[in-house]
């Protein structure tokens, strides 16, 4: 009997959490357009913080003045349309949007001195959205770029 009560309690808890999460996703994406820059006034600038976490130097080509690295690129911005009160959604404070679905806005970022014409920063990694509207996107990448070197 104890196991039955425990199972029902746990099952109902997961069921409610799932319903809250489904409702939250539906509410956030209602009338959301991923092509629109997330600012309340179109004349406002949107600040996107970018940070590079280098994991490995893959190659240094002194002759051609190129470097190739393996890195994570962290982008952080605020999307005013992606805010919610956690108490309205069962205490949920963050959600993940699959990058493969392109459901929310992402910055278009290019590597200015890229030596790889096929480089694409839009790797389909998840975006983590906090209830405050802060969005974190951390795609991995292999970056190949020109880098002036003085070899002596």
152 located within any domain: no
Q: What pLDDT is attached to residue 81?
A: 97
Instruction: Please provide the DSSP assignment of 102-117 as one string.
Output: T-S-------TTBS-T
Q: Per the domain annotation, does 151 fall within a domain? A: no
Determine if residue 133 is left, alpha or beta; phi over 0 gives left, psi from -120 to 50 gives alpha, anything else beta.
left
The CATH number that applies at residue 88 is 2.70.170.10
Residue 64 and residue 127: Cα distance in Å, rounded?
36
Q: Where in the sequence is the domain holding 64, given as residue range(s)? A: 2-146
What's the pLDDT score for residue 123?
65
Domain assignment present for residue 120? The answer is yes
Q: Where are the alpha helices (DSSP H) in the chain?
A: 2-29
Does residue 103 lie in a domain region? yes
pLDDT score for 121: 56
- Could you tell me if residue 21 is inside a domain? yes
Q: Is residue 73 part of a domain?
A: yes
**Per-residue pLDDT tens digits of the chain, which is 152 residues long:** 554 454 444 444 444 558 999 999 999 999 999 999 999 999 999 999 999 999 999 999 888 888 888 889 999 999 999 999 999 999 999 999 998 888 999 998 776 766 676 665 556 789 999 999 999 999 888 888 888 888 77
Number of domains in the chain: 1
Q: What is the pLDDT of residue 152?
A: 75
User: How many whole angstroms separate alpha carbon 110 and alpha carbon 25?
Assistant: 29
10 domain-assigned: yes
Q: Does residue 49 lie within any of the structural domains?
A: yes
pLDDT of res. 132: 98
Amino acid 82: pLDDT: 98
């Amino acid at each position: 009997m104890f196991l039955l009560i425990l199972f029902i309690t746990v099952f109902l808890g997961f069921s409610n959490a799932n319903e809250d999460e489904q409702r939250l996703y539906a509410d956030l994406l209602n009338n959301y357009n991923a092509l629109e820059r997330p600012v309340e006034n179109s004349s406002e600038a949107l600040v996107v913080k970018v940070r590079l976490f280098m994991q490995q130097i893959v190659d240094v080509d002194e002759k051609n003045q190129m470097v190739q690295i393996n890195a994570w690129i962290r982008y952080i911005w605020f999307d005013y349309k992606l805010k919610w009160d956690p108490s309205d959604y069962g205490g949920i404070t963050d959600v993940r949007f699959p990058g493969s679905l392109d459901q929310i806005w992402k910055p278009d970022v290019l590597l200015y001195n890229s030596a790889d014409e096929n480089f694409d920063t839009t790797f389909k990694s998840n975006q983590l959205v906090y209830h405050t509207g802060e969005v974190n996107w951390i795609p991995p990448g292999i970056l190949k770029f020109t880098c002036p070197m003085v070899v002596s």
